[in-house]
Structure 1
Amino acid sequence: MRTRLMVLLTMPLLAASASAQATGGTGGAGGAGGGAQAAQRQAAANKPRTIDGINTVWLEELTQPEFRDMIKDGYTTVLVMTGGVENNDGNLQMNKHNINIKLLGEMMARKMGKTLVAPLVTLEPGNAGANIQPGRAGPMLSQATYAALLFDMGNYLRSMGFKEIYYMGDSGGNGRGMQSAADSLTKVYADSPDKVSFKHIPEFYNHTSVVQPYIQNDLKIPEGIKIGASTGTSGLHEELGIDATMALADPQSIRFAQRVKAGQAEINGIKFESLKWLQDLGRKVADLRVTTAINAITAYRATLPKP
């Protein structure tokens, strides 16, 4: 009886899957059907816009005609920003990296000009394992799934008309998948007449290499964390530069008010003088991170063949 029930439940799913495959699926271009219906949709996609667009760099916030016209206007660079959900101890939200990439992704796109930001990749790679750990941070994706996701995103962005596709991550574990996707796509399209660049920019992940020296050496703020480390004297996976950019984006993400109330508005021996003080530092750190990444992109662009 149970076997028969499972077969009955599965049959509609198989039929739907077969139907989707026959028509090219419901989410892609193939879902439009053929003949007159496809021509109708194509005509609608090419119609001139009748309303003004909005000022955004976020791909997902555009209408299709707005995006179409931006591509024609040279918006052919896109940023694939990767974050994650992980254990950041007691003061920071688990989506720390996602808060940073949303802030910095928009800053980068606007500073670069004619650049858009793809939908954020908000999960990072990690292994679930067999054990149940109530309250464990996550969720995460396997490395294979993560690399495949980034490959598919880059490939689809290519099909949308982008010519330069840059992968940047705020979490150290993301680098392997981003590099794999960029390298694989570069090989696949090496002989394509449509020249598209896929590039991982590791310089964006610069918490320890750029931000920590800047805070301690340039700003002379004696944070109790060794340059290159992710944990300081507070014993937490937290540091001043990250607190500052998160506070700039959303003070609640670092539980600023709650920490002030509890007398814990500090990290690694540095007391937060005020929210304004922390946000001012956040602006400096954000500008530094963005400039560092853009400089790396500019250097890479200089190696590309001239059109």
Structure 2
Amino acid sequence: MKRMLVALLTMPLLAASASAQAGAGGAGGGAGGAGNAQAAAARAAAANKPRTIEGINTVWLEELTQPEFRDMLKDGYTTVLIMTGGVENNDGNLSMNKHNINNRLHGELLARKMGKTLVAPLVTLEPGNAGNTIQPGRAGPMISQATFISLLYDMGNYLRSMGFKEIYYLGDSGGNMRGQQAAADSLTKVYADSPDRVYFKHIAEYYNHTSVVQPYIQNELKIPEGIKIGASTGTSGLHEELSIDATLALADPVSIRYEQRKKVGQDEINGIKFQSLAWLQDLGRKIADLRVKTTLDAINAYRATLPKP
């Protein structure tokens, strides 16, 4: 009885709200439609006015004003990076935000190295399955694979509509690779016959921890880290390795709990002692440069296959 009463009381409110929205001219004609058209025209005119203030030096799309972005696009900033990370269990020393911190670091470096390239807002959640079981304290949140693919598809499609011509998907987490490839492939197929050529590409080479970074540390730098090349866990028994500690230390030492670990003698990983924060950050710069070069080489190789303008 109580539920029925609430429903009866609510119905007039919903009807009044719907009537008010219709009267505002959302999809209707008449004076409301004309008013909306005038407002849209005024907004378009304002968007096309010359800027009266100086812009800022950033590669992050969300930090720009609309006129700043408009002018950069006209100046040839038609390449954009979609970078995906995640929030996951990285054991006792590392922030669950590890992948996103890495993307913030490498996205900045890569976009500036490429030139006339912007970075879309970071995709900070990765695919995963919640299941039916409650697990207090588990890492996350995550989203379904289907949602992840849809999100990446929609982002790429919208960035296309904003005027970008080259749209690259880069993932810092292994579980993101399939979704990125699926989104890029789908968009490529949808717009295959479009006269406005836009290129969507998953750059798998960006995820190069085991294929490039581990051999570099052990074989070139001769640092005998206790982790098998290709593995994600070493002698410390943690989902953590020296290369990750190094780049995170460069971006944000708190994310690896550097001072807290040093205080209790845990400032090491897989048998390698952190000589100092400066030492670890210097290693991080070398690794970041290597990851950026590997990624840029892959992008340039792909660009070489594209039709000449």
Q: Which amino acid aligns with 1:34?
A: N
Match of 2:31 in 1: none
Superposition map of 1:1-307 within 5 A = 1-3=2-4, 5=6, 12=14, 34-307=36-309
Describe the shift of the 1:8–1:58 C-alpha distance in structure 2 as closer, same or farther (beyond 3 A): farther
How far apart, CA to CA, are the structure 2 residues paired with 1:175 and 1:83?
Answer: 11
1:237-290 deviation per Cα after TM superposition (whole angstroms, max 9, x unaligned): 000000000000000000000000010000000000000000000000000000
- Tell me the CA shift for residue 5 of structure 1: 2.8
How far apart, CA to CA, are the structure 2 residues paired with 1:116 and 1:4?
Answer: 54
Identity among equivalent pairs (%): 79
Describe the shift of the 1:13–1:284 C-alpha distance in structure 2 as closer, same or farther (beyond 3 A): farther
- Tell me the CA shift for residue 35 of structure 1: 1.6
Give the aligned CA root-mean-square deviation in angstroms. Answer: 2.1
Describe the shift of the 1:137–1:76 C-alpha distance in structure 2 as closer, same or farther (beyond 3 A): same
How far apart, CA to CA, are the structure 1 residues paired with 2:94 and 2:237?
Answer: 14
- Alignment size in residue pairs: 299
- Tell me the CA shift for residue 34 of structure 1: 3.3
Answer with 1 or 2: which has the greater Rg: 2
Describe the shift of the 1:38–1:221 C-alpha distance in structure 2 as closer, same or farther (beyond 3 A): same
Q: Which amino acid aligns with 2:184?
A: A
How far apart, CA to CA, are the structure 1 residues paired with 2:26 and 2:273?
Answer: 58
How far apart, CA to CA, are the structure 1 residues paired with 2:268 and 2:122?
Answer: 30
Structure 1: runs of 5 or more not aligned: 26-32
Structure 2: runs of 5 or more not aligned: 28-34
Describe the shift of the 1:8–1:182 C-alpha distance in structure 2 as closer, same or farther (beyond 3 A): farther
How far apart, CA to CA, are the structure 2 residues paired with 1:13 and 1:250?
Answer: 52
Q: Which amino acid aligns with 2:158?
A: Y
- Tell me the CA shift for residue 7 of structure 1: 7.2
Describe the shift of the 1:205–1:38 C-alpha distance in structure 2 as closer, same or farther (beyond 3 A): same
Aligned partner of residue 40 in structure 1, secondary structure: helix
How far apart, CA to CA, are the structure 1 residues paired with 2:86 and 2:244?
Answer: 14
1:217-241 deviation per Cα after TM superposition (whole angstroms, max 9, x unaligned): 0000000000000000000000000
Question: What's the TM-score, normalizing by structure 1?
Answer: 0.93
- Tell me the CA shift for residue 2 of structure 1: 1.7
Aligned partner of residue 34 in structure 1, secondary structure: helix
Question: What's the TM-score, normalizing by structure 2?
Answer: 0.92
